[in-house]
Amino acid sequence: MATPDVTVMGAGIFGLAIAWECARRGAKVNVLEKTRIGAGSSGGIVGALAPHVPEQWNPKKQFQLESLLMAPAFWAGVAAAGGVDPGYARTGRMQPVADAAALDLARTRGAGAKALWRDAAVWDLVPVMDDGWQPASPSGFLIRDTLSARLHPRQAARALVAAIRARGGSVTEGVEAPTGAGPVVWATGAAGLAALGTDLGRDIGGAVKGQAALFACPGFETRPQLFVDGVHIVPHGDGTVAVGSTSERVFDAPDTVDERLEVVIAAARAACPALRDAPVIERWAGLRPRAKSRAPMLGAWPGRAGAYVANGGFKIGFGMAPKVATVMADLVLEGHDAIPDGFRVEDSL
């Protein structure tokens, strides 16, 4: 078997997206996964791709904006290559507004979006409608943004695997260590973040547990996602609605659900009329890799020639994936470093 040009360790969203971008550019790619495709948070159910607030702008927010704007073409290319729908749709998002002060802040942020997002999307106010989906809002208005999108995490992983294989790459489960020559990209999620910290002798972050639930709720597939009191409510194209999630720094087990998820479910039912009688068909728990800087950690692995790191996606990994894939492929295949300040591995040391 020919030696791959690039080995990617980890078949989560960062690993698969990077592998696809490298394969799309003509590299021979071998993805190796220790457990299963989409293990950890990449096998979850929520898939909310939402922008940062358009104020106090910084490189992280700019990077995410560029990635969200790349997403339609990125995911369309993945679907066309492999023939599998990733569940992507730019359906927007709505949030209730508490009071007059919050209305003024929303208008200010709308002006910020106009300046920063330009004509790519809007952040504005719309009156609440009693349509069976929209949440109540004390002010009578909802913030609407047209940049937010949804992605079905598991479908996206399957779509990326199909696209990689269609380009001649391989994706293999049950492999713990890289084989062959060539550069290796370590995109191994929460476990990989811990291993990197041990290797570097520094606290660079850790795992944060999340719990989410999936409702059977057909008829709302094209509605905007909702964000109410910290709960994401995301309608998927298959007639399900995902809600989540908790954010737990301390936990007993990484993949078990408990009463904290029931609180999220109750909040989602109270916020969204469509969910009040909808059955819960799945409860999910998993670990998300959170870098200490809260920005993704990208670039060369210090002290390891030919080794690279792509980790720390935390809650925004799916939204960051198109841009992460691009800059990592630039670095690994072409030696071009376009990683912004604050995102490099050494920036966390």
Q: What is the mean pLDDT of the chain?
A: 95
pLDDT exceeds cutoff 90 at 294: no
Query: In the chain, at which residue ranges do the beta strands (DSSP E only) sit?
Result: 6-9, 29-33, 48-49, 93-96, 123-127, 141-145, 149-150, 170-173, 184-186, 205-216, 225-228, 231-235, 240-244, 280-291, 297-300, 307-311
Asked if 30 and 7 touch (Cβ cutoff 8 Å), the reply is yes
Instruction: Tell me the pLDDT tens digit for each residue of 86-145.
Output: 999 999 999 999 999 999 999 999 999 999 999 999 999 999 999 999 999 999 999 999
Sheet-wide strand order for 205-216 = 123-127, 141-145, 93-96, 225-228, 231-235, 240-244, 205-216, 280-291
pTM strictly above 0.75: yes
Q: Mean pLDDT, to the nearest integer, of 310-332?
A: 95
Instruction: Tell me the pLDDT tens digit for each residue of 144-197.
Output: 999 999 999 999 999 999 999 999 999 999 999 998 778 999 999 999 999 999
Asked if 140 and 134 touch (Cβ cutoff 8 Å), the reply is no
Residue spans of the domains in the chain: they are 6-86+152-206+292-348
Tell me which of 3.30.565.10, 3.50.50.60, 3.40.47.40, 3.30.70.260 is the CATH number of domain 6-86+152-206+292-348: 3.50.50.60
Instruction: Tell me the pLDDT tens digit for each residue of 219-274.
Output: 999 999 999 999 999 999 999 999 998 999 999 999 999 999 999 999 999 999 99
Query: What confidence tier does 1 reach under pLDDT thresholds 50, 70, 90?
Result: very low
Q: Mean pLDDT, to the nearest integer, of 58-75?
A: 95
Q: Mean pLDDT, to the nearest integer, of 314-333?
A: 95
Other Cβ atoms within 10 Å of 112 Cβ, number: 16
